[in-house]
Amino acid sequence: MSATVGPVSSVSTGVRTMFAMLTPNESSFEKVEDVPLYVQQATPFFVGLMVLELVVGVLKTGAPVVTINDGLTSISAGMISRLPMLFFRGFELTTYMYVWDQYRLVELPWDSASTWWLTFVGVDFCYYWVHRFAHEVSILWAAHQVHHSSEFYNMTTALRQSLTQQFTSWMFYLPMALAIPPSIFAVHIQLNLLYQFWIHTELIRDLGPLEWVFNTPKHHRVHHGRNLYCIDKNYGGILIIWDRLFGTFALESDKVVYGLVFPIKTFDILYVQLHYYWGLWRKSKKYNITNKLSTFIKGPSWKPGKPRLGDHCENPKVTGKEVPYDPSWPLPLQVYVVLHFLLVLWAYHDVFENKMMLSQLTVLGMTCYILLTLTSLGYIMDQRPSAAALEMLRCVIMVTMQRYSYVTPLLPSLAVATKAFVSLSLLFWALHCFTQLLSIKRKTG
Ligand SMILES: [Zn+2]
Ligand SMILES: [Zn+2]
């Protein structure tokens, strides 16, 4: 068994990685350092599958399956969720390696197919419980609700990930560290995540006998629904058998209406990530100490006098006539936002590629800049009155960064991006003034 470091060796391997279809022979490694960064290398396949879904969607339904504002918000959430990795290795792997080093009971062989398959099933079983707890314990749901906050369902939704969930999910995998080598765990924790990308689509309706064993688009659509029959159902990662075994399985029936029970109706990226913590705090303030505690550890629908998970019948009823949040906005602004988004994506990619050569301060500065940019673009998509001022502030910061050569010498490719930012920002300002003039004209006319 040979350990391969570096890029996924071929397109076919890359595609199979997206479906967790690697063999034990090609994905067993002795050392954690030898395990490929499958998730990081999957970016072209994420883009490829999203484009494929868009094209097939247009051909099949005559309309795009994704909107610019919702899709960009989902990709932004995905970007934000990985920012901590600029500063430390993933929590799941770090804590796992600590338990393995200190407390392992047996040492299963890393180069055995049985170990590989046992880990495949073990990671998926633990994921089921990570996911179920994330829905049934309010403080954990505050993190996981991010993934459910889109009212659309397409492959960009898969990337809408939580920033804070990684700080608690690691503990569910620790029992495996008593026997299974970290290098094999490091493979499966990535494959399990990657598998869940392609199931976020409405275009695949039914996969026949596969529906019995595997988590499929049909099953996962139910998981994202806010219809009564969908709440707290289908938690599986790769396998759906856990839901069938533990009584949380539901078959897709009525048309699924996606999103949170109380939709957030915003593209403000920090609000998407953090709003529920504030909501929980406000809810707990009404109660005495026991009920305060229950607010955080019982289900999101729980109220005093109700069962642990609350009464879902009290939630707003789904009528099927719900209209997803998708405010109309002028085409030039759409072009502006998409271009600026691509530029910040480029900067994001550059920081990850060069993080070993950059000082902690530069990485921190770029992290703040990325957060500011994604926030500002969200404000524009929400069409908030403060968007123009925030966007101009962001542009001034970018110009200042360039003026003092703070970033440019370290990240040469950013020099071009910076110039493009400045030019486009001026264009934005001109457009903003133009639309302001038009609206004033309309009001006075
Ligand atoms: Zn979920
Ligand atoms: Zn999902």
Percentage of residues of the chain with pLDDT beyond 90: 74
Q: How far is the CA of 224 from the centre of ligand 2 (A)?
A: 6
Q: How far is the CA of 223 from the centre of ligand 1 (A)?
A: 6
Residues 70, 210 within the same domain: yes
> Taking 80 as the threshold, does the pLDDT of residue 414 lie above it?
no
Q: Which of 225, 246, 267 is the last residue of a domain?
A: 246
Question: Is residue 298 in some structural domain?
Answer: no
Q: Which ligand is nearest to the CA of 133?
A: 1
Q: Count of domains in the chain? A: 2
Work out the average pLDDT over 11-18: 93
Q: Which ligand is nearest to the CA of 258?
A: 2
Residues 239, 366 within the same domain: no
d(CA 10, CA 352): 22
Listed ranges 39-43, 182-186, 382-386; the one with the highest mean pLDDT: 182-186
Q: Which ligand is nearest to the CA of 235?
A: 1
Question: Is residue 301 in some structural domain?
Answer: no
In terms of residue numbers, what domain contains 435?
331-444
Residues 335, 240 within the same domain: no
- Residue-wise pLDDT for 41-85, tens only, equals 999 999 999 999 999 999 999 999 999 999 999 999 999 999 999
Question: Is residue 291 in some structural domain?
Answer: no
Average pLDDT taken over every residue of the chain? 90
The per-residue pLDDT for 91 is 84
Q: How far is the CA of 283 from the centre of ligand 1 (A)?
A: 22
Q: Which of 246, 275, 290 is the last residue of a domain?
A: 246
Residues 240, 363 within the same domain: no
Q: How far is the CA of 32 from the centre of ligand 1 (A)?
A: 29
Q: How far is the CA of 371 from the centre of ligand 2 (A)?
A: 23
Q: Which ligand is nearest to the CA of 156?
A: 2
Q: How far is the CA of 328 from the centre of ligand 2 (A)?
A: 26
- Residue-wise pLDDT for 306-331, tens only, equals 999 999 999 999 998 999 999 988 88
Q: How far is the CA of 135 from the centre of ligand 1 (A)?
A: 6
- Residue-wise pLDDT for 336-369, tens only, equals 899 889 888 988 988 898 888 888 888 999 999 9
Instruction: Pick the more confident residue, 89 or 296.
Output: 296
Question: Is residue 311 in some structural domain?
Answer: no
> Taking 60 as the threshold, does the pLDDT of residue 445 lie above it?
no
Residues 220, 96 within the same domain: yes
Of the candidates 152, 237, 241, 242, which has an alpha carbon nearest to the alpha carbon of residue 195? 237
Residues 21, 131 within the same domain: yes
The per-residue pLDDT for 323 is 94
> Taking 60 as the threshold, does the pLDDT of residue 1 lie above it?
no
Residues 222, 362 within the same domain: no
Which residues lie across from 239 on neighbouring strands? 214
Residues 238, 340 within the same domain: no
The per-residue pLDDT for 406 is 45
d(CA 86, CA 431): 36
Question: Is residue 304 in some structural domain?
Answer: no
> Taking 70 as the threshold, does the pLDDT of residue 417 lie above it?
no
- b/e map of 84-123 (b: 16 or more CB within 10 Å)? bbbeeebbbbeebbebbeeeeeeeeebeeeebbebbbebb
Which residues lie across from 94 on neighbouring strands? none
